Structure 1
């Protein structure tokens, strides 16, 4: 490090973390100012500390740009999914999925069905964003028609989407975590099954029970029937409308690049809108950018289906760019490094090291605004401790996913949080209590750590234990 520069002190790090939380609270909760402006203001607060410890503005700007660059793939996916949502609604694809879903799914088991359908979709495609933007918005429409609270439906959808985002070998976060942790991909997935399987089963039972609690009898079916009637009046419904969805899921399952596949699906949506929904060609093409726009006279239908398009995602993209800038700044001036070194001295057993990894992942989402950032912070901040304690790196990779990937939709300004809120039409803090799978993954990981269950040790640890026993016997 340059002689004129130094690492921030713990007091300065604490100042940054507390100030960040205070700014968020005052802007968003107290005064109702946009969260984008809150994040932009945080840049300058962090820069003050950077100037104090010897960094120039140009150096900190480089940190901002690097943070944004590292997260640009998520931005491109947002743009692609926005275009896809707009054309799939205009093309009658989403309305058809909703229509057939209402006709075949029993309201009592709907929440469980939504959870499983989104889980299967995400496992097959490897993307939580793509799953939420396709199967997820359809499940939101079906759930609202059955009379379920939208926040609860969103919880089931997002919980299901993150099953695959965490476990699918096609998921970029799964591959990235295994790579950063230096663990074989299949071994990484096997290690996560010890946590994800009980979390999946318990979540499924909770959503099944919630279905019985919130099901309201005939009222649900009458609203569902009214929705089906309205959909059939304003869209041509047919099984052939599901072909684009099937093709996109198939291509993603074949591990084709997600961005071109999603954009190809969006293009199919424009073709379907022109061919089957009697939409003018220019209007069908424009739905890529502006989304769908109908005036059915039924507020519920208009609210459900007037969404999507690249334009629909612009405020979300700005939010993510500002959040990525915060993470880049913190990395540049050494705040993350100080947190790392502090945790290294504290985590001296399996329980504490698990907790430190989970906290590092959440910090990455909270202060870095992206799943990619959280995976890097969770794995790199704590990896030395796993080696020092001779804990197998499969435990590191598993805990990294638990602290990084699954906590992403819990943070209102992270890429996952803002995407899910914008796509499903439910604010992060509203759906947060119903992310049962995500919370269970975190809780089970902590339980395993402090009870030493499914915590594997390397040969060095086994040899050490054997030597200790031999010394005692002699």
Structure 2
């Protein structure tokens, strides 16, 4: 695949596709209450037309689209695998078992803070926020909603915990990516992340603690829980042995088995549980993998929670990822995004403004390129020289792109992370956004700390030399690849 030729776009020209896309998005999603696919296609057409008018050949624009989609392929595979695992775990009674015992162990008053802590610890161990949300998150939604807690609030607690663990896990792909792009050691990067990540998580837990207190009283919750327990016992075979299935997946990922093989084992175990534990037919279990599980118990809440999963349920998400990355590919590969970032960089004359600008640019990249990996890669590459020129340690850059990029990806409705959460937890980003407390507290703290000069580390000669050597090695590796 040929590399698309980049040219230097004037700032006002480069920003036109973004204005068109965001304007179309606001009108379509807010006014028409329609899906975001068409606005992204409109933005892609606008960006392609402008690139063509500037002399980039259509074949090169096509290559830019392919490059953007290529970046999303790993995410698409994970999305499909999560669809399989949700279907097989519901059909196999695994989710029902987790919900059943969770309802008896977790108190409504402390549920929000508990689920945020559990998701944080599990993700810290396995390094994947998506895997946590697609497994424990689904069970957590069932437990919390049966207690009478609003779905957006539960989703916010799950997301906050999952992303906290993801940021501090040495097994996380984005954490490794940020350290590698910036040219700093992985554990130096993780230690530097503690400056904003830990306070943000503590604030989130405190808020969830007080919000959860209002759901600790009332007979309605007890009635809901009792009714759900009865339905679960009636519709599924509930046994502690089924907890071996999620435990096996967590153990595999903790042992550094890649996500796809580990999740494949989870799908296989869920499939076997569907046939041999729940007594389902082989054809029914296979159909569940594709079309998801369907439950008709007569209880609307329970039916909504357990009627989901399968490859088919993820097709909306996959299609949105494809069109989003087509737009991101055109604006990034042709040089439009670089022109905008270069213009922004002119205002970053001091270390404090540079860190703040990096956080903002990473969020903007999430909006523009619709992919959290791009929010790390692009600012990480484009601002590296500026950090060296201002004698700033690479850890400042790696933390800034994480604080502004990876964590905020959940707020952009057309970003791959947000559409994954919508497909998995069944909550719209606009609904859970106010409650994803960790995810907006951390970037705010990053900006405040930057303005106060907190956590800004100057570069020593030895560190700078080591960073240069690492960047040189990475450059050679990319060339070889």
Give the TM-score normalised by structure 1.
0.94
Which deviates more from structure 2 when the two are superposed, residues 158-167 or residues 214-223?
A: 214-223
Aligned to 2:318: 317
Alignment of 1:205 onto 2:206: yes
Alignment of 1:50 onto 2:45: no
Distance, in Å, in 2 between the alignment partners of 1:6 and 1:381 is: 15
Distance, in Å, in 2 between the alignment partners of 1:423 and 1:5 is: 37
Structure 1 position 23, deviation (Å): 1.1
Distance, in Å, in 2 between the alignment partners of 1:233 and 1:114 is: 26
SS in 2 for 1:297: coil
Mapping 1:366-445, distance limit 5 Å: 366-445=367-446
Mapping 1:14-413, distance limit 5 Å: 14-413=15-414
Moved over 6 A (4+): none
Structure 1 position 54, deviation (Å): 1.0
Structure 1 contact 378–404 (Cα < 8 Å) conserved: no
Distance, in Å, in 2 between the alignment partners of 1:459 and 1:424 is: 45
SS in 2 for 1:406: helix
Which deviates more from structure 2 when the two are superposed, residues 303-312 or residues 25-34?
A: 25-34
**Offset from partner CA, 1:99-134 (integer Å, 9 cap, x none):** 100001111000000101111111111111100011
Distance, in Å, in 2 between the alignment partners of 1:365 and 1:227 is: 39
Which deviates more from structure 2 when the two are superposed, residues 168-177 or residues 21-30?
A: 21-30
**Offset from partner CA, 1:267-318 (integer Å, 9 cap, x none):** 1101001111111111112211111112112111110000001111011001
Structure 1 position 417, deviation (Å): 0.3
Distance, in Å, in 1 between the alignment partners of 2:462 and 2:391 is: 5
Structure 1 contact 361–378 (Cα < 8 Å) conserved: yes
Distance, in Å, in 2 between the alignment partners of 1:94 and 1:59 is: 47
Distance, in Å, in 2 between the alignment partners of 1:216 and 1:317 is: 41
Structure 2 contact 293–306 (Cα < 8 Å) conserved: yes
Structure 2 contact 21–42 (Cα < 8 Å) conserved: no
**Offset from partner CA, 1:347-375 (integer Å, 9 cap, x none):** 01222112211122112211111111111
Structure 2 contact 17–44 (Cα < 8 Å) conserved: no
Distance, in Å, in 2 between the alignment partners of 1:154 and 1:400 is: 24
Structure 2 contact 87–308 (Cα < 8 Å) conserved: yes
Structure 1 position 332, deviation (Å): 2.0
Structure 1 contact 292–309 (Cα < 8 Å) conserved: yes
Distance, in Å, in 2 between the alignment partners of 1:301 and 1:33 is: 27
Distance, in Å, in 2 between the alignment partners of 1:5 and 1:246 is: 48
Distance, in Å, in 1 between the alignment partners of 2:176 and 2:30 is: 37
Which deviates more from structure 2 when the two are superposed, residues 226-235 or residues 350-359?
A: 350-359
Aligned to 1:470: none
Structure 1 contact 360–378 (Cα < 8 Å) conserved: yes
Structure 1 contact 356–382 (Cα < 8 Å) conserved: no
The change in CA–CA distance for 1:452 and 1:460 in structure 2 (over 3 A counts) is: farther
Distance, in Å, in 1 between the alignment partners of 2:124 and 2:215 is: 28
Pairwise CA RMSD of aligned residues? 1.7
**Offset from partner CA, 1:135-192 (integer Å, 9 cap, x none):** 1011100110010111000000011110122111111111111111111111111110
SS in 1 for 2:205: helix
Structure 1 position 214, deviation (Å): 3.9
Structure 1 position 49, deviation (Å): 1.1
SS in 2 for 1:346: coil
Distance, in Å, in 1 between the alignment partners of 2:25 and 2:165 is: 31
Distance, in Å, in 2 between the alignment partners of 1:231 and 1:459 is: 60
SS in 1 for 2:214: helix
Aligned to 2:470: none
Structure 1 contact 390–461 (Cα < 8 Å) conserved: no
How many pairs does the alignment contain? 461
Structure 1 contact 156–434 (Cα < 8 Å) conserved: yes
Aligned to 1:453: 454
Distance, in Å, in 2 between the alignment partners of 1:351 and 1:61 is: 39
Distance, in Å, in 2 between the alignment partners of 1:381 and 1:336 is: 11
Aligned to 2:476: none
Structure 2 contact 332–369 (Cα < 8 Å) conserved: no
Structure 1 position 25, deviation (Å): 1.2
